[in-house]
Chains A and B, each alone.
Chain A
């Protein structure tokens, strides 16, 4: 285990370094992107521009800029935004993280439960009416754009009906879990549902496929020959085995979502999570914030990768020795 962690930590460092360098370079080679011009404003004279460059350190060679930025990001942790000079990158990301985590893990639980139910029922009743019906629903869930669904949810709950049917729905925004758990859940309810529609759709199809493959295996017949109940057969044998590849896939998706890919939902529902932060920093071409969020995203993807590997090995003994 110690060896595993060490190996993973080393490869994580390599990944984070590479990602940050690439993001950094991409920023400077993107045509039309000049942070100094952005900061100095439209009517800045060349002298002001030069002064801005100097004060932000943008006149130094790129490697030096990179090292300084990393220093401020990781060691002194006081890297400040170019756009909003009072805002420090690290605390902002730290503040945004619980919001994103709340959103993603809530979604993960809801979509997994729904996907398990849909996938299982579909696979067990393959070929009967319920199967194509559920799978059509799943495709519908996958096809509906998240931002559209989010806007519709907002229009319904925050619009005309807000005073009548949806009076219980709080205004957009976020309440920390520690402040009021009820309000926390209430604020996240519609974001959760919106995002779950997509993931439940995707994973009910994946799970159905895996379940059908597994139910066709010889060990299912062998288990049936032991005289166990069909319920036990489906859960302890088929579902348990189908879970292995599904978990691997799902873990990676969670990593990407926590890394900021939930930004559409966050933006639509006004949740100031990491995705929202990423969205903002991109809009304002705020290099320090972009670098912060990129490294954060890469970190979570790498972390989830490692967790997926550990979970995968726990779930499938054949992987443990390979």
Chain B
């Protein structure tokens, strides 16, 4: 169940942890400029869990990475604003930004093996994180590292602190990375598919850990995933991205119960719900595949795959609320409500 207590606290000025405004990311390539992320805006309330859902090429990871300007590529052009504590992270001088990275906003990655420098121990990594923001002696940092490893549930932490990343299992590595991210009590935790590389039972452990730590540390979480199921019972609100744009966003309960955009509907219909059988229900399949960032689609990017596309779809629709839906439940689709209903009936049958 989404944490409704958190959800009600969203978007009110003082309670905002992070606000992204019209984030746009272009990359210059030999064949021209590719628009990876276009005009993405969202707000993360303090302590809120926001899920960003999208397939490969949707720009979800690029959005996350560029909140902290992590990608050092001269061909990348990032515009818009990322407001945190009254400052725009995209306009901040490098030194000030470094204080926020890891200190106020921390990040965890899909594959903890590739997120840790292979030649250093787990303890070294955590100590580096601590000492980047706190004046701590080596010894104190090591002790704190052991405490953190204990907190994330790593058995015999006083031994594991000296383990190298390759000596740990996938689940343990991800715990170690989470311990590192939490070292400086960040206000926001950015998570880039942190459970995708893990087994189902290990994924449950890590999700459980993230949820628990969120309660203890009160950090907001921005969780990027391709699997809407993974965040369906953790996220307070959801953004659905397609081809670099947000096509639908709102509180998780609203989006799951009444998806408005045909893509969201297709996405929900294309995964077998628990217990569903091919004998009793059919999966909604979306024809074709998502455009790559270099393929420019005129108008709505979903139009070529959309069964309900019509002439209006050659213009990009704006994100807006719909009559009869919650005010903070937005979608970018030209379809009228009636057509939407028909579509849903067909998809659900």
Please list the residues of chain A having a beta carbon within 8 angstroms of any beta carbon in chain B: 127-128, 215, 217-219, 221-230, 236-237, 240-241, 244, 315-318, 321
Contacts and interface: CB of A to CB of B under 8 A. Distances in A.
A219 B111 CA distance: 10
B118 A227 contact: no
A226 B114 contact: no
Nearest to A237: B117
Interface string B66-98: 001011101000000000000000000010001
Contact of B116 (A219, A224, A236, A321): A219
A219 B108 CA distance: 11
A317 B125 CA distance: 15
Contacts of B103: 227
Interface in B12-61: none
B114 A227 contact: no
A317 B166 CA distance: 9
Majority SS of interface residues in chain B?
mixed
B334 interface: no
A218 B117 contact: no
A317 B101 contact: no
B151 interface: no
B118 A318 contact: yes
A231 to B, nearest CB: 11
A221 B190 CA distance: 13
B162 to A, nearest CB: 10
B99 to A, nearest CB: 6
B132 A226 contact: yes
Contacts of A217: 114
Closest 4 CB pairs of A and B: A227-B102, A227-B101, A226-B102, A218-B114
B119 interface: yes
A226 B71 contact: no
Contacts of B107: 222, 225
B114 A223 contact: no
B307 interface: no
Nearest to A322: B166
B31 to A, nearest CB: 17
Contacts of A316: 118-119
Contacts of B117: 219, 223, 237, 240-241
26 contacts: A215-B72, A219-B114, A219-B115, A219-B118, A221-B70, A222-B107, A222-B177, A223-B128, A224-B70, A225-B68, A225-B70, A225-B190, A226-B106, A226-B180, A227-B99, A227-B100, A227-B103, A227-B132, A228-B102, A228-B128, A241-B117, A241-B118, A241-B119, A244-B119, A316-B119, A321-B167
Contacts of B114: 217-219, 222
A146 to B, nearest CB: 34
Given A226-B129, A240-B117, A221 B166 contact: no
Contacts, number: 76
B347 interface: no
A217 B180 CA distance: 18
Contacts of B166: 317-318
Contact of A225 (B106, B118, B167): B106
B133 interface: yes
B101 A225 contact: yes
B109 A127 contact: no
A42 B291 CA distance: 84
B130 to A, nearest CB: 10
Most B CB within 10 A of own CB, among A217, A218, A237, A318: A218
B65 interface: yes
A244 B177 CA distance: 24
A214 to B, nearest CB: 9
Contacts of A321: 167
B65 A221 contact: yes
Given A225-B190, A226-B132, 15 more contacts: A127-B74, A128-B74, A215-B72, A218-B109, A218-B111, A218-B114, A219-B114, A219-B118, A221-B65, A223-B117, A224-B72, A225-B70, A225-B101, A227-B101, A227-B132
Contacts of A128: 74
Contacts of B180: 226
Most B CB within 10 A of own CB, among A221, A237, A318: A221
A234 to B, nearest CB: 11
Contacts of A224: 68, 70, 72, 101
Nearest to A224: B70
